[in-house]
Structure 1
Amino acid sequence: MSLDQYFTLGRSGLRVSRLSLGTMTFGENWGWGAAADTARTMFDRYLDAGGNFIDTADLYTEGSSESLLGQFIEQSGTRDRVVLATKFTYNGQPGNPNAGGNGRKNIMRAVEASLRRLRTDYIDLYLLHTWDRVTPAEEVVRTFDDLVRAGKIRYAGLSDVPAWYAARAQTFAEAHALTPLINMQLEYSLAERHIEHEYVPLSQNLGMGITAWSPLAMGMLSGKYKPSQTGGEGEGRLAKVTSAPGFERFTERNWTIVAELEKVAKEAGQSMAAVALNWVATQPGIASVIIGATKLEQLDANLAALSFQLPAVLRARLDAVSATDKPFPYYMFADIQQTRIHGGVAVGDKPAGYAPGVFVPAVQAQSFTTSR
């Protein structure tokens, strides 16, 4: 694979690179990140390498990420070339409950603000950023459909929502001939594999390609962190935030994964980051992997992730060391299905590209049923 090999995203005609440029690091408003000149250099380097899929959000660096991207795209004259994705949900107006969340009022407010910062009249892929636990899926889907019909967005998707909510939204869209969802943005890495049980089958059956965020587990898998008496140490933001709820990465399990990854990377003759990214990019259901950096050399190292094929024996070692226990009800299925359900007769998987009730051309199937 190379960066200029494009795959259709989900069940759509939108072609994107297998590595997406994440721009949460564009801007220094959060006390860390890349200054404007460094961000522009990384933007140019990604496009020069053949990439076309750029991810941001109105939340990132308090809007600075979108503003910088808008400048870069306008100055480079690349609006038609890039596939621009941004997200809404988070509140930037304390005290105003309708300036956040996923209700129609906030979506309409947020899309106009993003369009202004991005200096464009349309967004290629607009994503709900995080489930707000309040707004019905039907309200979100109908609002997405209105925005597509108004020409303000081209496609829609979801990020960080329960699997049942994504299924409800897509099924509602299909039942009422509304704009379908083509993307789910979810955390996925050797250190975080829980999406494999619910989300990957969901995406494959309902036509939503997965873009993986934090494929290096916030830098944990890059090799920059080492275990210490206090849990871990290294130069990077993870060392500063790992004690916060939801950001605990310095665990015994993760250090075991890091140790094995280091051995595999050495045997493969690649960097730890490149091997970790390659593993994610070639897993089932993954349409694109979001890479981020604060330095150009970090971006270059990440872009090398598609330049090699990881030998099966090395992949198997990574699979084994990072394997997670199967939750209920999945631990029941492997043995019971063949003996107690299928009468002891082996029942194989369907052919590649097959989906119940629809015909999916092979070239399109690659976008959301990618297998090793």
Structure 2
Amino acid sequence: MKYKLLGRSGLKVSELCLGTMGFGTDNGWGADAATSFDIMDEFAGAGGNFLDTANVYQKGTSERIIGDYLANQDRDYFVLATKYTLKDNQTNPNASGNNRKNMMRSVEESLKRLKTDFIDVLYLHIWDDITPIDEVLRGLDDLIRQGKVTYAAISDTPAWMVAKGNTLAELMGWSQFIALQVEYSLLQRTPERELIPMAKHFGMTVTPWAPLGGGALTGKYLKGDTGRVKPESNRRNENSERITKVVMEVADELGVSAGNVALQWMRQQGFSCIPIVGATKLSQLKDNLKTTSLILSDEHLKKIDEASAVPLGFPGDFFKEENVRINSFGGFYDRVEKRS
């Protein structure tokens, strides 16, 4: 794999990130430790160095497995990202949320499970709509100054709050968010309305989770695999099936897997994007790694885009309306005059 800079930083990470939510079987599914080790070996052997986990994945077992693995590896080779926010125990009312107390406690617990002195990238996992953003930013900056965290990032948070946070951080001289993790795939393109344009503006790398729509875009549900996704899920409805069939058609034309096409589509969308590819089987990772050698033509991109596009709403669709020329003063007002 090639390496890319993560956001507005000098941190070099592999062009695919390994998602480890399935490392462990505490939630009734996933990969055991031996299989998880094999997956990480394969990933590292292909040049992968970017690992993504969280304090709550498999009730902490994901972090423990990674910690056991890294204990016998070159720790500095890997860029390790984890998250805080979600409740990982029942000890106190502040064992969840974005507050500083939970942040500090959660990081200390993650460091123990990961058997490391520092976390390369710490994500706020999900916005709690309670904690002031300046409390979050100051806490993250303190952890960075202490050397326990190297970079700050954010996940599953409204675009306006992320924008407010990075603007405040720039003003105060605090560490800014360098990456944004959100659900994004051909089945979930709504981040194109606000989140992705915001990330581009601030030079943030987008690290999509569920880039294959929970496996739906591989075509497995069309082939009879019921999986863990509920039938009424938007990953298993008429729209998702229609989109997946188009992806499969393109894949057949190119002689590659549907998953490769779905991943590469997002990597060619004109913004810094590093998909998080989860795997509980070695075969899944091996197939995902083939994505890095695939380039989609303009025709294929157009075909997939037309099949999966979502309304941008206002003002996105307004900006795209025919005859509106944002960069042409006269053209814009010609349109206004016609309307009036």
Which of the five TM-score ranges fits, normalised by the shorter chain?
over 0.9
Unmatched 5+ stretches in structure 2: 333-340
Q: How far does residue 199 in structure 1 lie from its aligned partner after superposition?
A: 1.5
Aligned residue for 2:161? 165
Alignment correspondent of 1:226:
222
Length-normalised TM-score, structure 2: 0.94
- Residues 177, 251 of structure 1: alpha-carbon distance in 2 compared, 3 angstrom cutoff: same
1:63 aligns with 2:56: no
Instruction: Name the counterpart of 1:236.
Output: 227
Q: How does 1:274-289 map to 2 (within 5 A)?
A: 274-289=260-275
**Residues 212 and 286, structure 1, Cα contact 8 Å, conserved in 2:** no
Letter aligned with residue 64 of structure 1:
T
CA distance in 1, matches of 2:272, 2:61: 28
Q: Distance in 2 between matches of 1:93 and 1:25?
A: 19
Residue 316 (1) aligns with residue 302 (2): yes
Give the C-alpha shift of residue 223 in structure 1.
1.4
Residue 295 of structure 1 corresponds to 281
- How far residue 242 of structure 1 moved from its aligned partner, in angstroms, is 4.7
1:47 aligned onto 2:34: no
The runs of 5 or more residues in structure 1 that have no matched partner are 228-232, 346-372
Q: How far apart are the structure 2 equivalents of 1:16 and 1:315?
A: 26
Counterpart code for 1:343: G
Quick check: 1:334 aligned with 2:320?
yes
Residue 341 of structure 1: CA displacement?
A: 6.3
Q: Secondary structure at the match of 2:313?
A: coil
Deviates more, 1:85-94 or 1:108-117: 85-94
Counterpart code for 2:291: A
Instruction: Return the alpha-carbon distance in structure 1 between the equivalents of residues 317 and 326 of structure 2.
Output: 15
Q: State the partner residue of 1:189.
A: 185
Aligned equivalent of 1:18, options 15, 25, 29: 15
Shift of 1:326: 2.0
Report Cα offsets for 1:171-206 as digits up to 9, x if no partner: 110010111110101111111111112122211111
Moved more, 315-324 or 335-344: 335-344
Query: Which moved further from structure 2: 269-278 or 92-101?
Result: 92-101
Cα distance in 2 for partners of 1:340, 1:110 equals 48
Rate the CA distance shift 1:339–1:279 in 2: closer, same or farther, 3 A.
closer
Contact 1:26 1:35 in 2 (8 A): yes
CA contact under 8 A between 1:27 and 1:34: conserved in structure 2? yes
Tell which has more relative contact order, 1 or 2 (C-alpha 8 A, sep 6+). Answer: 1
Is the CA contact 1:274–1:305 (under 8 Å) kept in the aligned structure 2? yes
Share of identical aligned residues, percent? 44
Whole-angstrom CA distance in 1 between matches of 2:327 and 2:43: 52
Partner of 1:360: none
Take 2:231 and 2:91, find their aligned partners in 1: how far apart are those partners? 29
Q: Relative to 1, partners in 2 of residues 1:340 and 1:276: Cα closer, same or farther, differing over 3 Å?
A: closer
The whole-number CA distance in structure 2 between the counterparts of 1:203 and 1:301 is 29
Write the deviation string for residues 113-139 of structure 1: whole angstroms up to 9, x where unpaired: 000000000000000001111111111
* SS of equivalent to 1:287: coil
Assess, with a 3 A threshold, how the Cα gap between structure 1 residues 214 and 286 changes in structure 2: closer, same or farther.
farther
Partner residue of 1:359?
none
What is the CA-CA distance between 1:95 and the residue it aligns to? Answer: 6.6
